[in-house]
Structure 1
Amino acid sequence: MNSRKYNTNPALLLEQGKAIMSSTDESRYLFRVFAVNMVLSGTPASQVGASAGFTKAAVTGWVKTVDEHGFDALRPQRRTGRPSKLSEDQLKEIDAVIQADPRDHDLKVWDGPSLSTYIKTRYGIDIGVRQCQRLFHTLGYSHIRPQPYPKTQGASRIRM
């Protein structure tokens, strides 16, 4: 057991150290390499994982990955997500259409439902309302709608 007297709370230091280990892709990679090296040197995976806040299964998974594919396989992979249903040219055309008057397309305003309908009609691509709202944001538009103000009554109508 460690008998050192700390000036700072050791639990706080441990949390800060964990945050540093997971702050960048490179630091995560280096920590995983270090953890695998500790296991290969004879330290139990459960002890390595417990000291850094990971499970034994995670550490043994890293060891297995290194054994089967080498250390480069521990590098975090970029996840690209689902490809867009709309091409770049279609997005540019949609951007130009949104900047035009919505009445040109028999609409009152451009919003999620109206954009979804327009894309379905124009391109035959079914995109949900929420995704169209995200598309507005991606194209640089904010979610602000014109709001009617209540009519104020003139002073001549107020009787005392």
Structure 2
Amino acid sequence: MHIENYDQLDRLREAARGYRNTRTGPRVQAIILAKQGDTAPQIARALGFSRRAVQAWVAAYNRGGLDSLPDRPHLGRAPTLAHDQEDRFRERIEASPRPEDGVCELRSADIRRILEQEFAARYTLSGVYKLLHWLGYSDLMPRPQHPETHPEAQEFFKEIVVEQIAAIAAQHPDREVQVWHHDEARFGQKGTLT
């Protein structure tokens, strides 16, 4: 395997020590082994990488020396939402949904529609998730609460109905007690926290 003579082995070993905890360290090790006369398959086995990866690292080193081994930043496509619109977008999604949104909590499809209609920015659903993550938002959200929720009925259910279910289960120890409930939107769904 041909390798350009940019650096002496001592300088490469010193550089490898500096890159010990990064992705560049194994690349420098591959160059050292190649300078010592090892083949690409031998280097790949020794370092636990593919032969093609080793060959790519050697080719990069041959083109530009040690400076060509570290990862270049993956810039990707520029964000569609302008930087001056970010604060307005944050305020919009952190506020409660508006009546014209027609929902009680904003989902990614709703945020996508808001981006397109109010900010003239087109995103795919996966792009919406990436944008939210980039802005510091998490995918996990508290369970949505309907605007017409009745806290008193919820407390009644927690205190009284749970006791009744336990009493029924005690009367029938050999049977499995299943609790089914429904609301206006989800008929017949089992009582799980989904």
TM-score tier, shorter chain, comes to 0.5 to 0.7
Alignment equivalent of 2:43, drawn from 45, 48, 56: 48
Matched residue SS, 1:102 = coil
Deviation at 1:48, TM superposition (A): 1.8
Q: Are positions 1:64 and 2:64 aligned together?
A: no
Q: Are positions 1:89 and 2:89 aligned together?
A: no
Alignment of 1:19-30 (within 5 A): 24-25=21-22, 28-30=23-25
* Residue identity matched to 2:144: R
1:73 is matched with which residue?
68
Count of residues paired in the alignment: 133
Matched residue SS, 1:125 = coil
Alignment equivalent of 1:132, drawn from 128, 134, 152: 128
1:14 is matched with which residue?
none
Q: Return the alpha-carbon distance in structure 1 between the equivalents of residues 86 and 103 of structure 2.
A: 21
Deviation at 1:71, TM superposition (A): 1.6
Deviation at 1:114, TM superposition (A): 2.2
After the TM superposition, which segments of 4 or more aligned residues of structure 1 sit over 6 Å from their partners? 149-155
Distance change in 2, residues 1:139/1:104 (3 Å):
farther
Unaligned runs of 5+ residues in structure 2 are: 1-18, 162-194
Contact 1:111 1:133 in 2 (8 A): no
Q: Return the alpha-carbon distance in structure 1 between the equivalents of residues 51 and 101 of structure 2.
A: 61
Alignment equivalent of 1:123, drawn from 112, 116, 119: 119
Q: Are positions 1:107 and 2:102 aligned together?
A: yes
Higher helix share: 1
Distance change in 2, residues 1:58/1:106 (3 Å):
closer
Calculate percent identity across the aligned residue pairs: 21
Q: Return the alpha-carbon distance in structure 1 between the equivalents of residues 41 and 130 of structure 2.
A: 43
Q: Return the alpha-carbon distance in structure 2 between the equivalents of residues 131 and 56 of structure 1.
A: 34
Deviation at 1:100, TM superposition (A): 3.0
Contact 2:26 2:47 in 1 (8 A): no
Distance change in 2, residues 1:23/1:82 (3 Å):
farther
